[in-house]
Chains A and B, each alone.
Chain A
Amino acid sequence: MFHQTTTKTVTILLLFIGMAIYTVFAGFYGRELVIEAAYLVILAISLDMVAGYGGMVSLCHGAIFGIGAYVFAILTGMMGISPFIALVAAIAASGLFGLFVGAVTSRTSGIFFIMTTLAFGQMVYVYTFENRALGGDDGMSGVARLDLSMIGIDTNDSLQFALLAVVFAALSYAVAAFIMRSGFGRTLVGIRSNEVRMRALGLPVLRYKAFAFGISGALAGLAGTIAAQQTMFVSPEMMSWMMSGEALVIVILGGLGTLVGAAVGAVLFVFLQHEVSEVTRYWHMVVGLVLILVVVLGNRGAYGQIEHLLERRKKGAPKASALEVAAEKDASHA
């Protein structure tokens, strides 16, 4: 179950403040990295909501992310519609697609769920890839950025846009944490722990799962709009299953089912990618090895490991209720 513990609050605040401070002192390239990290934070948090808390391991979040980016690009770039409306429309479209996929797949579980989401994601990817009207495999350029000049923010300035992206990431975390703390979030965890029992309690389980996927989709769409604004360009590669896999890798590296871990994972991922690429061309091999290692060593991820160590130090203190322990145990198996 999600608790906004002190450890979580401290870590997430340090992370976002650190990103903001780094942005101020970094050059143009550093700021680009911050923007990339910021939208990956949002994408990873959205995936963690369903995968970590709902037990729904999605391989179509890349596609939903891409839908957000493409809707934003089509509305601002091709139709010249105001970026604000485009932002809302993109989030709505991704949310609706998420809701649709969630509703259709809610009956399946385990590997079948993974495969079904993969199928839907690839459908979107292939459709976009083949569709010349959407630029096909060349993608689409000419995406506009949000116009915030009335409150004195120039989004075409790299510093201000990067800070804006960090703010969006922080807001996304707040929203996700709020939802996971609410009755809805708790219900979701209950479904993951024991779907049959929740159904027996009279809960419309399938509807809950679909809504959770919809909310997560909306958040992934927001991440997509930021990615589209950063480069002012969208390409179908954003939608491929490798992107979804990468999002999953980020969540795992940070720590599944903690929300904070997803954010930490995204920053770590971007930072590592940058650092390793300086040394060797074979960055993917490093990620692959780290991923295998993390999973084999108990799948806690960076933040999960910190939480685990702190927990162990406090072991003398009385443990939470037996239910809580069972839930934790379950979370580590998810």
Chain B
Amino acid sequence: MNFWIVQALNGLQLSMLLFLLSIGLTVIFGLMHFVNLAHGALYALGAYVGVSAFALTGMYWGAFLLAPIAVALAGVVLYLGLIRRMRKAGPMNQVLVTFGLIFVLLDITRIIWGDLALSIPEPQLFTGRSEVLGVAYPTYRLFIIGLGLTVMAGLWLLLSRTQIGAMIRAGVDNDQMAACLGINVERLFFIVFCIGCALAGLAGAVAAPVLSVTPSMGTQLLIPVLIVVVIGGLGSLKGAIAGSLLVGFIQTFGAVLAPQLASVAIYALLAAVLIFRPAGLFPAKA
């Protein structure tokens, strides 16, 4: 029984990490029809900035705060310099440009921080283990789960209860119509892109104490995140939640129960969804 609880918590923790990354990607995808393969590289950048921020401030919370800000700033630069002009360029060109960006960002992190794996210690507040449902589980991982749930709730409130959320939903549904109604869709894109980048940076800083910080951490996580986005449905919050949980749990339980089958199963699931329900499980558009 303990085994199942621990694994379920592990799955939940991975799901939350995937969620933090995929929500930015999915809204950018759904709203801007933009494929940003460099999203994973931004997550890695967040982790590295976190490492430096920790070295600078000596506090985990320095990393926690500075990483999202730094990555959002990087997002501003990318948006103004490159992404704005690639918006109408078609999926292949977007894939190519952001693929090029992966290479560039990868080497930038290598130049600044080197090739060795780095890490940040857990914050003092959340060291050790806590008792959950009768099992001792690392407190920091519980913190990740809690953070993920908080962001989830916050975004849900933002999207469903505020004016800007309604504008974003309108933009995802029909951007031209939204523009006709006087919504500045262009500015909306920009804001959403920056929030997406900030969340990717946050995910990087949060993952840094659990995973080792290496240049390739972004490309490793990119594919599962893309799977989450596509399975869930482009631009859909519900889809990102469902997709993250599905992929997180399949990966975690698969790895312990049937390693060979599980890794293939995720891709098989992706292919099946793409072929039979190309819009995803929870399409954002009606």
| Given A122-B267, A285-B107, residue A249 in contact with residue B96 (CB < 8 A) | yes
- Segment from A140-148, A174-182, A286-294 that makes contact with B: A286-294
B259 and A130: CB pair below 8 A? Answer: yes
The reply on B90 being an interface residue by CB < 8 A is yes
CB–CB B271/A119 < 8 A: yes
Q: Given the complex of chains A and B, what is the CA–CA distance between A290 and B97 in angstroms?
A: 10
Q: Tell me if B278 and A291 are in contact (CB < 8 A).
A: no
Cβ contacts A109-120/B at 8 Å (1 or 0 each)? 011101110111
Does B35 contact A131, Cβ atoms closer than 8 Å? no
Q: Mark interface residues in B75-118 (1 if CB within 8 Å of A CB, else 0).
A: 00000001001100111110111011111101110110000000
* Chain A residues with CB below 8 A from B67, complex form: none
Q: Are B106 and A284 closer than 8 Å at their CB atoms? A: yes
Is A94 an interface position by the 8 A CB rule?
Answer: no
Contacts of A288 on B, CB cut-off 8 Å?
99-104, 106-107
**B106, closest chain A residue (CB):** A284
In the complex the two chains form, what is the Cα distance from A126 to B259 in whole Å? 11
User: Cβ of A325 < 8 Å from any Cβ of B?
Assistant: no
By a CB distance below 8 angstroms, the chain B residues around A282 are 107, 110-111
List the B side residues contacting A130 at CB < 8 Å: 259-260, 263-264
Q: Does A104 make an interface contact (CB < 8 A)?
A: yes
Does B270 sit at the interface, judged by CB under 8 A? yes
Whole-angstrom CA separation of A282 from B267 in the bound complex: 32
Determine whether the beta carbon of A242 is less than 8 Å from that of B219: yes
Q: Which residues of A contact B259 (CB under 8 A)?
A: 130
- The distance from the CB of A262 to the nearest CB of chain B, in whole angstroms, is 15
Contacting pair B96 A295 (CB below 8 A): yes
Partner of B274, one of A115, A248, A289: A115
Instruction: Give the residues in chain B near A51, CB-CB below 8 Å.
Output: 92
Contact A123 B268 (CB under 8 A): yes
CB distance from A57 to the nearest CB of B (A): 5
Q: Which of A108, A111, A284, A333 contacts B107 (CB 8 A)?
A: A284
Beta-carbon contact of B99 and A249 below 8 Å = yes
Contact with B along A243-274 (1 / 0, CB 8 A): 00100110010000000000000000000000
The answer to whether A292 touches B35, judged by C-beta atoms less than 8 angstroms apart, is no
Using a Cβ–Cβ cut-off of 8 Å, how many residues does chain B contribute to the interface with A? 39
Contact indicator A241/B223 (Cβ below 8 Å): yes
Which residue of B is nearest A59, CB measured?
B95
Residues of A within 8 A of B107 (CB): 282, 284-285, 288
| A127 close to chain B: CB less than 8 A | yes
In the assembled complex, the Cα of A118 lies from the Cα of B260 at a distance in Å of: 19
B242 proximal to A (CB < 8 A): no
Determine if B275 is an interface residue (Cβ-Cβ < 8 Å): yes
B230 at the interface (CB under 8 A from A): yes
Q: Which of A54-73 contact B (CB under 8 A)?
A: 57, 59
Residues of B within 8 A of A115 (CB): 226, 230, 270, 274
A334 located at the interface, meaning its Cβ lies under 8 Å from any Cβ of chain B in the complex: yes
**Closest residue to A287 on the B side, CB-wise?**
B103
Query: Which B-chain residue is minimally distant from A132 (CB atoms)?
Result: B260
Residue in A closest to B263 when the chains form the complex, CB atoms: A126
Known: A119-B271, A284-B106, A284-B107. A110 touches B91 (CB 8 A): yes
A122–B91 Cα distance when bound, in Å, is: 20
Question: What is the CA–CA distance of A292 and B278 in the complex, to the nearest angstrom?
Answer: 29
Asked if A207 is at the interface of the complex by the 8 Å CB criterion, the answer is: no
Q: Are A108 and B274 closer than 8 Å at their CB atoms?
A: yes
* A245, B35: Cα distance in complex, Å: 14
Which of A122, A123, A291 has a CB less than 8 Å from the CB of B99? A291
Chain A residues whose CB sits within 8 angstroms of the CB of B275 once the complex forms: 104-105, 107-108, 116
Contact B104 A289 (CB under 8 A): yes
Give chain A nearest CB distance to B5 CB in angstroms.
Answer: 27
- Identify the closest chain B residue to A288 (Cβ): B103
Name the contact of A292 in the complex, choosing from B104, B226, B264, B267 (C-beta under 8 A).
Answer: B104
Interface hub of A51, A110, A122 (most chain B Cβ within 10 A): A122
Closest CB in chain B relative to A14 CB, distance in Å: 27
Specify which chain A residues have a CB less than 8 angstroms from the CB of B227 in the assembled complex: 119
Shortest distance from the beta carbon of B16 to any chain A beta carbon, whole Å: 23
The residue on B at minimum CB distance from A123 is B267
Contact with B271, one of A57, A104, A289 (Cβ below 8 angstroms): A104
CB distance from A247 to the nearest CB of B (A): 11
- List, in ascending order, chain A residues with CB within 8 A of B268's CB: 123
Chain A residue at minimum C-beta to C-beta distance from B98: A292
Q: Can you name 6 A-B residue pairings with CB atoms under 8 Å?
A: A114-B92, A252-B96, A288-B104, A289-B104, A292-B101, A296-B97
The 5 closest A-B pairs by CB, nearest first: A288-B103, A285-B107, A291-B100, A123-B267, A288-B104
Chain A residues within CB distance 8 Å of chain B = 51, 57, 59, 104-105, 107-108, 110-112, 114-116, 118-120, 122-123, 126-127, 129-131, 241-242, 245, 248-249, 252, 281-282, 284-285, 287-292, 295-296, 299, 333-334
11 additional A-B residue pairs with CB within 8 Å, beyond A105-B275, A282-B107, A288-B100: A59-B95, A107-B275, A115-B274, A118-B226, A122-B267, A129-B263, A248-B99, A285-B108, A295-B100, A296-B97, A299-B93
